[in-house]
Structure 1
Amino acid sequence: MEFRVAQLEALGRFLDEKKQDIMEALASDTHEPAFEAEYCNILLCKNELNNTLNKLDTWMKDEHVERNLVTQLDTAFIRKDPYGVVLIIAPWPYPIYVPLVALIGAIAAGNCVIVKPAEIPKNTKALLAEVLSSYLDKDCYAVVSASEEGTTKLLENKFDYIFYTGTPAMGRIIMTAAAKNLTPVMMELGGTNPCYVSDNCEVHIVARRVAWGRFFHAGQTCVAPNYILCSAEMQEKLLPALREAITEFYGPDPKESPDFARITGDEQFQRMRALLVTRNAAIGGQTDEQERYIAPTVLVDVQPSDPIMQESILGPILPIITVTSVDEAIDFINARERPLVVYVFSSDKKVVNHVLERTSSGGFCGNDTLMHVTLTSLPFGGIGESGMGLYHGQFTFDTFSHHRGCLQRTTALEPVTALRYPPYNAHKTGLVRVASELKRQGACTLL
């Protein structure tokens, strides 16, 4: 424990001493506003770190479990063992936050770790590669900078656990490589997160919260609302409210705003521009290739078959699809792959709970966006196409721990233990059944 705490505290010094370098690298790479950079990459990371340091001794303790009559004199417990050598592959949208949160849990669980930073953004990658490892024990932790080809080579090695955040396509490649060594994996793969807005809601509040969630970090957030489902009547109210919120946040020209980020790389910019159907842009739609700028954009008349509805957008584009009822919205959501998060806005709690009960997703947030991710007490992860496994807070520690079931028996009472040995008879069977059987509580038998 002393070693783990020392390494975690060293990671805290990295965040404190290199805070300005982190902020400058993110600003240089993506024009990320200082507020967003500090909130995600410093504050939330420090929250994870301090929560882990505060509770690590409790998490590491053996967890004693119930015993039956046969094992009453024995000790049964769960030991939290490290997996061994863990590979953490970081994503480009959050190149500091995601690998550091995973690293915190991997260190806390006692693993050795190799961190593979995202190939872009380049300044952030360089910072991690050149500086982070200098704070940690070099025998146990390393940062390996590699291209896509280098990552493929890296995956040829046998790891004891792989943590990956990125696209489903790359996730399948990683799972194939992991399968060769039967290596367990944790994957967060994003998703086309729906946001249902009911007719019964505070439109201006909805607009501000949706706009913040969609355009935070220029939309390059895996849990951003990917599209809105609402009635045609609500769309008529929501469009001017969204326009007003965007102007309030970023001024009349978001390109001039210091609070609106840029797209991380040229390839991502080109992908996003190809998805952008400007003729349907009710708000925004402007682009600037040289600056990798895409304006906060809201699309209408979007068809479910359009390319923009087939993948996680990871950009400042928000399509609106009209539905006639909450049940039609639920059917629309359930007809697609299960998303990383489902959002719903309504002043009626019954509507919120109806969507919660009738849909399946990695996470859920009612009447806001993104905020569920900020709680270390909630698990974060996907399901189905949006991923597998959980992290944040103790869930990260558990993800990187092998829960080892342990029973330490006494050698006393051998005559009782001998009841299980052959030769068997009805008397032995009855005694063993009484000592070992687990009965259902509160069961009622009708005669």
Structure 2
Amino acid sequence: MIIRIFITDSGGTIMTESEIRKLLERQRTFFSTGKTLPVSFRLRQLEKLKRSIQKNEPLLRHALKKDLGKSNMESYMCEIGLTLSELSWMQRHVRSLAKNRTVPTPLSQFAAHSYRSPIPYGTVLIMSPWNYPLLLTLEPLIDAIAAGNTVILKPSAYAPASLAMIKEIIETTFPADYISVIEGGRTENQALLRQKFDKIFFTGSKAVGKEVLRHAAENLTPVTLELGGKSPCIVDSTAKIPLAARRIVFGKFLNCGQTCVAPDYILCHHSVRQKLVAAIRHEIQIQFGESPLLNPDYGKIINAKHFQRLSELLDPEKIVCGGNTDAATLRIEPTVMADVTWEDAVMEEELFGPLLPILTYDTLEEVIRTVESHPHPLALYFFSEDKTAQKKLLRSCRFGGGCINDTVIHLATSSMPFGGIGESGMGSYHGKTGFESFSHFRSIVDKKTWMDLPIRYQKYTQKKEKLLRLFLQ
């Protein structure tokens, strides 16, 4: 997922490093009181956050429209609604998640009760990107609150209207000693990363993720990294092409392609290439109209810098659909490029925009070699009616998550973890996994005092060794 962080233009007050350090100390003091530990407290905070989001929904929609051109439907479907869904899931399950979990006790430790006991890390830092500014800030916040932490949020300054709304919601809902929002850009990010947090959660690019990890290593701070990469979409000869095209167009051009799990490119079996291109062109017309640049429900590129970067990747000789741009509104049509090779500029980096390159292949083995020879992607999608091929691909390729015969929807559930692997990230969150991501699990053995097996104590004898071997088989 591409992210760059600069000074905010939202008019907010920028904190100095000294002020950041003092805020962090205040949060540590608040955490040390134990107020965040009772589940009843966590539930009250989640409910307060839910009411604030619901109350401010019209303003949140307006902010998302201003920053990214998102329609009301898309804002609710992909940001507000998903955030509320995670929040409601956590409210239903946090009591269970926070309980101690009994585990079997080995016979050699008889008599004892063994269990796993979750505790919050403490004070955590959540750094979020601009492409889904509400969802990718508040979802990890929900998990951190449920786990009992205090939190400092650092949203991206690239989405200033959304940042202002997030700040308003947090500051009117929670005391700063508990949850705070810090504005600013690179200077503030560096200042934050120089502090000693108990956990860092970062969503953004691989380059910035490396920087986060380097700073975290100085304090041995645990880190969750949600990154990105070039996520492939594979279409084989058995795929239902019209349906595949509909679902690919939805997942690719959602938020103008500025989605970390959007299909970055298509690997299409050569036998269905022409049919797929025609079907995708047809679906773009159906979903976005004859003139997508005039569609009020079609979003925009986040800023002029990214608009220019994407515009330079357009190759007129390979465009088979779209390609028109409007610099005044920062809009680029849903664009399909065919006859693309790995040597083309469009294949050099994660696109993060409404450009869809199509490459072809001959065999599934070729697909597997291609996917495995590149950095492990955050997502992979496979359109196929061949169950054997589905199993082979899933068995052979490493990627964060994905779908069979659909795109992007795997992240829209609190029942499954979401995260990357290798270059696309480390760790995951959502639902139970999100609670665990912001918790440390202590292993506790409660040894009983009404008896004490003598086997472990010296003097050691052959009889004791024989019993020990029996116990430890």
Could you say which TM-score interval applies, normalised by the shorter chain? over 0.9
| 2:460 paired with 1:424 | yes
Alignment match of 1:379 (pick from 409, 414, 417):
417
Q: Aligned partners of 1:94 and 1:88: how far apart in 2?
A: 14
Q: In angstroms, what is the RMSD of aligned CA positions?
A: 1.2
| 2:255 paired with 1:217 | yes
The 8 Å contact of residues 189 and 382 in structure 1, kept in 2 or not, is answered as: yes
1:317-363 CA-to-partner distances (Å, cap 9, x unmatched) read: 10001111222111111110110111000122222222111111011
Shift of 1:307: 2.7
Alignment match of 1:307 (pick from 338, 345, 367):
345
User: Which deviates the most, 129-138 or 61-70?
Assistant: 129-138
Alignment match of 1:293 (pick from 307, 319, 331):
331
Which amino acid in the other structure matches residue 458 of structure 2?
P
TM-score, with normalisation over the residues of structure 1? 0.95
Q: Aligned partners of 1:354 and 1:69: how far apart in 2?
A: 41
Which amino acid in the other structure matches residue 198 of structure 1?
D
1:201-238 CA-to-partner distances (Å, cap 9, x unmatched) read: 21111111000000011111000101000123311101
The 8 Å contact of residues 322 and 334 in structure 2, kept in 1 or not, is answered as: yes
Which amino acid in the other structure matches residue 467 of structure 2?
L
Q: Aligned partners of 2:345 and 2:195: how far apart in 1?
A: 36
Give the match for residue 187 of structure 2: 149
| 2:57 paired with 1:19 | yes
Give the match for residue 359 of structure 2: 321
Q: Aligned partners of 1:118 and 1:264: how far apart in 2?
A: 12
| 2:469 paired with 1:433 | yes
Determine what percentage of the aligned residue pairs are the same residue.
38
Q: Aligned partners of 2:316 and 2:123: how far apart in 1?
A: 48
**How does 1:95-114 map onto structure 2 within 5 Å?**
95-114=133-152
Q: Aligned partners of 2:434 and 2:140: how far apart in 1?
A: 7
1:389-447 CA-to-partner distances (Å, cap 9, x unmatched) read: 01111110000000111111112223x2x32122222122122333x31x3xxxxxxxx
The 8 Å contact of residues 117 and 129 in structure 1, kept in 2 or not, is answered as: no
**How does 1:249-264 map onto structure 2 within 5 Å?**
249-264=287-302
Alignment match of 1:86 (pick from 124, 143, 155):
124
Give the match for residue 18 of structure 2: none
Q: Aligned partners of 1:41 and 1:301: how far apart in 2?
A: 35
TM-score, with normalisation over the residues of structure 2? 0.90
**How does 1:111-122 map onto structure 2 within 5 Å?**
111-122=149-160
Give the match for residue 444 of structure 1: none
User: Which deviates the most, 63-72 or 246-255?
Assistant: 63-72
Alignment match of 1:393 (pick from 431, 451, 454):
431
Give the secondary-structure state (helix, strand or coil) at the position aligned to 2:97: helix
Give the secondary-structure state (helix, strand or coil) at the position aligned to 1:173: helix
The 8 Å contact of residues 197 and 228 in structure 1, kept in 2 or not, is answered as: yes
Q: Aligned partners of 2:210 and 2:131: how far apart in 1?
A: 19
The 8 Å contact of residues 338 and 385 in structure 1, kept in 2 or not, is answered as: yes
Q: Aligned partners of 1:362 and 1:372: how far apart in 2?
A: 11
Alignment match of 1:134 (pick from 161, 167, 172):
172
Q: Aligned partners of 2:213 and 2:123: how far apart in 1?
A: 17
Shift of 1:364: 2.4
The 8 Å contact of residues 87 and 163 in structure 1, kept in 2 or not, is answered as: yes
The 8 Å contact of residues 90 and 431 in structure 2, kept in 1 or not, is answered as: yes
The 8 Å contact of residues 7 and 137 in structure 1, kept in 2 or not, is answered as: no
Give every structure 1 segment of 4 or more consecutive aligned residues whose post-TM-superposition deviation is greater than 3 Å: none
Give the secondary-structure state (helix, strand or coil) at the position aligned to 2:342: coil
Which amino acid in the other structure matches residue 319 of structure 2?
A
User: Which deviates the most, 286-295 or 70-79?
Assistant: 70-79
Alignment match of 2:99 (pick from 50, 56, 61):
61
Shift of 1:71: 2.8
Q: Aligned partners of 1:239 and 1:177: how far apart in 2?
A: 45
The 8 Å contact of residues 121 and 265 in structure 1, kept in 2 or not, is answered as: no
The 8 Å contact of residues 128 and 156 in structure 2, kept in 1 or not, is answered as: yes
1:169-205 CA-to-partner distances (Å, cap 9, x unmatched) read: 0001100110000001000111100011011121111
The 8 Å contact of residues 153 and 180 in structure 2, kept in 1 or not, is answered as: yes
Give the secondary-structure state (helix, strand or coil) at the position aligned to 2:450: coil
Give the match for residue 443 of structure 1: none
Q: Aligned partners of 1:153 and 1:138: how far apart in 2?
A: 18
Q: Aligned partners of 2:356 and 2:389: how far apart in 1?
A: 23
Could you tell me which runs of 5 or more consecutive residues in structure 1 were left unpaired when the two chains were aligned.
440-447
The number of residues matched between the two structures is 435
| 2:402 paired with 1:346 | no
Which amino acid in the other structure matches residue 54 of structure 1?
R
Q: Aligned partners of 2:191 and 2:401: how far apart in 1?
A: 33
The 8 Å contact of residues 203 and 238 in structure 1, kept in 2 or not, is answered as: yes
The 8 Å contact of residues 231 and 379 in structure 2, kept in 1 or not, is answered as: yes
